[in-house]
Structure 1
Amino acid sequence: MAKTLTQRRHRLLFALTVVLIGLNLRPIMAAVGPILDLIQVNTAINDTAAGLLTALPVLAMGVFALLGGVLQRILGIESTITLALIAVGLASLARLIFHGELGLITTACVGGIGIAVIQAILPGLIKRDHSENAGRYMTLYTAGIMGGAMISSATVAPLSHVMSWPAALSVWAVFALIALISWTVTPTGQSDTSGPVSSTLPLRSGRAWYLMLFFGIGTSAYTLVLAWLPPFYIHLGWSGTTAGVLLGGLTLLQVIAAIGLSAVVDRFTDRRPILLLILATIALGLLTLLIAPKSLVLVAILLLGLGIGALFPMSLVVTFDHMQQPSQAGALMGFVQGGGYIIASVMPFLAGILRNEFHSLSMAWIIMIAAIIIQSLMVFRLSPRHTLSSIDWSVQTTRA
């Protein structure tokens, strides 16, 4: 009985720590949009450069996620996550001093590196120590990610009125400190040297490339909305605080969707019907932004929040379905997320160029709708017959 209680406490502590770590993975980007006009006034950043404030950290997340398996092998999972949390916290804190154009971009890149490492490594730990509840922990983890985006986006504009806007950008370092303390006291199932870890990326696997493209397209919708939804509504005459609350409400819906998904995801062996429903919801939300952004704003926020909130964890779960060996988890997840984030980094930068050129985001919404349609067609190749088999890491090509 005592052993059962101890195990239950350990599981609860681990679940809490996973959520706390997730809270750190978006504020460095999500806090920018609602006060972007204020940042541009004080730093003379144009729309194209403003797109880089989201695009560059996402690009860094992609590039350094590819190194997740290597870092895991050299330093071990636990030590790597500790160092990554420190990097994220210091990047946020540094914005209190370095808040010029170069400083903002540099700190965004440093934070993106820390975020990338965590996102590549933590799923491997979940797979290693909690494989029987991996789907549930992964959705709680993504709920934490979206919760961090929600809190930072909804409160950064009011905070910028109470304190300086650089302070409002740097205050999120407290999330890293809390997560670091929780991570330090959380017991893990094995030591850092508990077994062989694959650091070889599945470059010859067609299926791995397919998963990377699928993840990248879906994440593009998230990065586009994260970067440009508040400026879009500010351009329509809304205040920065109200636009931030809109993004906060959208991310709250993402949290609700992720938590709701965690309760049912393991009941469906075939993920395709759920994925198609999710993608249709996102497409309708983007279409609403295109044709009636003011009158149907609540409908757009509802559709995009629930759709994007469900797509991110489902994309990770689909990748998880391909993992039979925990030792391969870091490399596969790093490859899928790394390449996927590189793809996703293009969309906010492209949207900035389009907005600078046409003084509108309509073309960006149209391009994203077309990409979602392509992603929907990709869903049909994600049958249980394929997803329940492991990635082939050795042959020259793997049938997608």
Structure 2
Amino acid sequence: MENIRATSRPAVGLMLAIALVALNLRPSMAAVGPLLSAIRGDIALSFSLASLLTMLPVTAMGLGMFFGLSIGRRLGERRTVMLSLLIIGLATLSRWFIDSAAELIVGAVLAGFGIALIQALMPALIKSRFADNVALYMGLYVTSIMGGAAIAASFAPLVMLQTGSWRAGLAIWAALALLASMLWWAQRANLPHAMPETHKQESFFRHPRAWLLAVFFGLGTASYTCVLAWFAPYYVEQGWSEQHAGLLLGFLTAMEVIAGLLVPAIANRSRDRRWVLKGLLLLIIAGFCGLTLTPHHLSLLWPCLLGLGIGGLFPMSLIVSLDHFDHPQRAASLTAFVQGIGYLIAGLSPLLAGTIRDRLGSFEWAWWSLTAVMVMMWLMARRFDPRHYARQFP
């Protein structure tokens, strides 16, 4: 992609379109957790099987990263995103008609592939069109992703109560895909039909630094996907109603939105992101400890800490990857690899947590395991010294 700075009005319109597209990247997963007890009351689902509703879409997202850029170069950014929104919209709408766990899982996987195509393209698009403020605009993009999760988690139980159907609570988010398609199509003049092949897509499988970035992103995203899948069911088991548990998850994701907007802007003041990463990881560690030890006391503090930490860590993990290259296409190839491997890693966490719940009868050991993972990531973050980036990829 060419590094072209758009004029102010087209740039604002394009960023609004990107934000609305990003709102569609999590509702298909975020709406499931608050409605899980109602779904399990209608369809036979163990916790391990229910975990597939988050695990398989995230795995599909990881696999889709490896061919998302290739599809984007063939179809162009505009057509690829339109195709992705169509897939997400149809997969979400199909939940109105499902009658079995298999149908529910197939729809989730299809949505995951649609999400993958968009997430493979967006970092490169932002890097090329907003080169002077990559951290800020990546923050806006990721904030919109978190915002979609917050909206779905908060309002899916309300839709279920109003309609008397959990299927409606899952399917209504297809309307977001329709709205995003309309605004994205309106931006067609600002998007080329095809992405110029100015630099051949690289393979990073033999680069240790690429694997470090991928594992770091994957472990951080594992905390996000696990919280997204099991936070609300955990509080339902603690005696909360589905609506209140969904609102608490909505509050957590609202904190993610705030962090996703503010943290990259703060981090943009310095190229050295390590102090920000370490602070975010400490917030997550504190949140998991409180969630496990005293879930009923200070019940707003723990999701607040988790939301601020996870919401800031997600964009910062991608920004650190983008920092390694100035060339947009090389940065795009690296972030596609990082997200591809990272989502494959992250997809395992809901399954592992669900299995722990089935075997031990509680999610508490899953939260302790994630706490240990965050401590390991704190040590890994020390290696992201920007003075050494140039020699990591000769």
Normalising to structure 2: TM-score of the pair? 0.95
- In the alignment, which residue of structure 1 is the partner of 2:358? 356
User: How far is 1:204 from its partner?
Assistant: 1.5
C-alpha deviations, 1:293-341, integer Å up to 9, x for none? 1112111011001111100011111011012221223322211001101
- In the alignment, which residue of structure 1 is the partner of 2:169? 168
Of 204-213 and 67-76, deviating more is: 67-76
Residue 329 (1) aligns with residue 331 (2): yes
User: How far is 1:98 from its partner?
Assistant: 2.3
- In the alignment, which residue of structure 2 is the partner of 1:288? 290
Cα 1:221–1:193 change in 2 (3 A) is: closer
The partner residue of 1:315 within 302, 313, 317 is 317
C-alpha deviations, 1:138-171, integer Å up to 9, x for none? 1100010000000000010111111221111011
Asked whether the 8 Å contact 1:69–1:198 carries over to 2, the reply is no
- In the alignment, which residue of structure 1 is the partner of 2:76? 76
User: How far is 1:197 from its partner?
Assistant: 4.7
Asked whether the 8 Å contact 2:252–2:304 carries over to 1, the reply is yes
- In the alignment, which residue of structure 2 is the partner of 1:36? 36
How does 1:212-223 map onto structure 2 within 5 Å? 212-223=214-225
- In the alignment, which residue of structure 1 is the partner of 2:182? 181
Asked whether the 8 Å contact 1:218–1:312 carries over to 2, the reply is yes
Of 327-336 and 234-243, deviating more is: 327-336
User: How far is 1:390 from its partner?
Assistant: 7.7
How does 1:14-163 map onto structure 2 within 5 Å? 14-163=14-163
Q: Report the aligned-residue RMSD.
A: 1.5
Which secondary structure state, in structure 1, belongs to the residue aligned with residue 190 of structure 2? Answer: coil
- In the alignment, which residue of structure 2 is the partner of 1:385? 387
Asked whether the 8 Å contact 1:69–1:200 carries over to 2, the reply is no
Aligned partners of 1:209 and 1:356: how far apart in 2?
32
Asked whether the 8 Å contact 2:76–2:195 carries over to 1, the reply is yes
Residue 259 (1) aligns with residue 247 (2): no
Aligned partners of 1:390 and 1:84: how far apart in 2?
36
Q: Which runs of 5+ in 2 are unaligned?
A: 1-5
Asked whether the 8 Å contact 2:88–2:177 carries over to 1, the reply is yes
Normalising to structure 1: TM-score of the pair? 0.94
Aligned partners of 1:364 and 1:195: how far apart in 2?
44
Q: Which runs of 5+ in 1 are unaligned?
A: 1-5, 396-400
Aligned partners of 1:351 and 1:332: how far apart in 2?
29
Instruction: Return structure 1 stretches of 4+ with deviation > 6 angstroms.
Output: none
Aligned partners of 1:272 and 1:331: how far apart in 2?
23
Q: Report percent identity of matched pairs.
A: 41
Tell me which amino acid in the other structure corresponds to 1:169.
Answer: L
Cα 1:75–1:191 change in 2 (3 A) is: closer
C-alpha deviations, 1:97-130, integer Å up to 9, x for none? 1242011100100000011111111111111222
User: How far is 1:215 from its partner?
Assistant: 0.1
Which secondary structure state, in structure 2, belongs to the residue aligned with residue 44 of structure 1? Answer: coil
Of 210-219 and 180-189, deviating more is: 180-189
Which secondary structure state, in structure 2, belongs to the residue aligned with residue 360 of structure 1? Answer: coil
Cα 1:128–1:76 change in 2 (3 A) is: same
Number of residues paired by the alignment? 387
Asked whether the 8 Å contact 1:323–1:391 carries over to 2, the reply is no
Of 87-96 and 180-189, deviating more is: 180-189
- In the alignment, which residue of structure 1 is the partner of 2:3? none
Tell me which amino acid in the other structure corresponds to 1:179.
Answer: A
User: How far is 1:41 from its partner?
Assistant: 0.8
Aligned partners of 2:156 and 2:199: how far apart in 1?
40
How does 1:228-239 map onto structure 2 within 5 Å? 228-239=230-241
Asked whether the 8 Å contact 2:73–2:197 carries over to 1, the reply is no
